[in-house]
Amino acid sequence: MTENTTANVRVALVTGGTGGIGHVVVERLVADGFAVAVHYSGNKDRAEAMVADLVSRGGQAIAIGGDVGDEDEMTAAFDAVESAFGGIDVVVNTAGIMILTPIVELDLDDLDRMHRTNIRGAFVVSKLAARRLRPGGAIINFSTSVTRTQLPTYGPYVASKAAVEGITLILARELRGRDITVNAVAPGPTASPLFFNGKDEAAVARFAKATPLERLGQPEDISETVAFLAGPARWVNGQVIYTNGGLA
């Protein structure tokens, strides 16, 4: 763990920071000069190893745990970031789970579990960020391009991410006068553990061919959009950015 020693360093909290996309987002923000809090839910060892590596390379980072759906735990997480770095400028909410199943076969316990992380978690994190970000800040939530493609078996997941888009677009309007942007990134098929889970090689190949660029996205492609929204994109607000290689 390291603490911020420069008053003008921008500070980011990345939920789900140990995940495939979250990890690369953390790396990109540190490279851009941010002090970063790497949030984890269950993988404390991975988060601490990431932080140790970042600090060894001259970055500023801490690891913080918590269930994104638990307001008390996330309040403590925000407190820890502010204590370490003096404030928070950017929150990137990559934490999420995806369970694929036809709607008619849906286990409602799975629905509740996914919605606790994806919907309740988005409300909790966005609410706390809206209260505590400094002027000039950015809230960046994560949706999915499947909200537009309507693929079978994605119904429960898309329902949760459509809710995230609604939260994002309305919160952007509610924060009028605060100088805080609120946007969502909607990745297309991206080579991450979340995407590969449950897919065979043929399915992966079909997704790779689905975009005009004829490849899967890489986590680095997504982190480029996050870095833009976290930094120079002060006139992009209340938007869903489809980072998907042209997926129709």
CB 118 within 8 A of CB 105: no
Looking at this protein, which amino acid is placed at residue 154?
Y
Active-site residue 157, yes or no? yes
Q: Is 124 left (phi over 0), alpha (psi -120 to 50) or beta?
A: alpha
Q: Which of 16, 7, 59 is nearest to 36 (CA)?
A: 59
User: Is residue 167 within 8 Å of residue 183, measured between CB atoms?
Assistant: no
Catalytic-labelled residue, pool 40, 154, 157, 242: 157
Of 125, 141, 123, the C-alpha closest to 133 is 125
CA 128/CA 117 separation, integer angstroms? 15
Task: Kindly list the distances between the CA atom of residue 134 and the CA atoms of 12, 17, 19, 55, 206, in Å, as whole numbers in the listed order.
Answer: 11, 21, 26, 24, 43
C-alpha angle 150-156-158 in degrees, rounded to nearest 5: 45
Work out whether the CA dihedral 84, 88, 92, 96 comes out positive or negative. positive
With a CB cutoff of 8 Å and minimum separation 6, the contacts of 49 are none
* Residues identified as active-site: 157
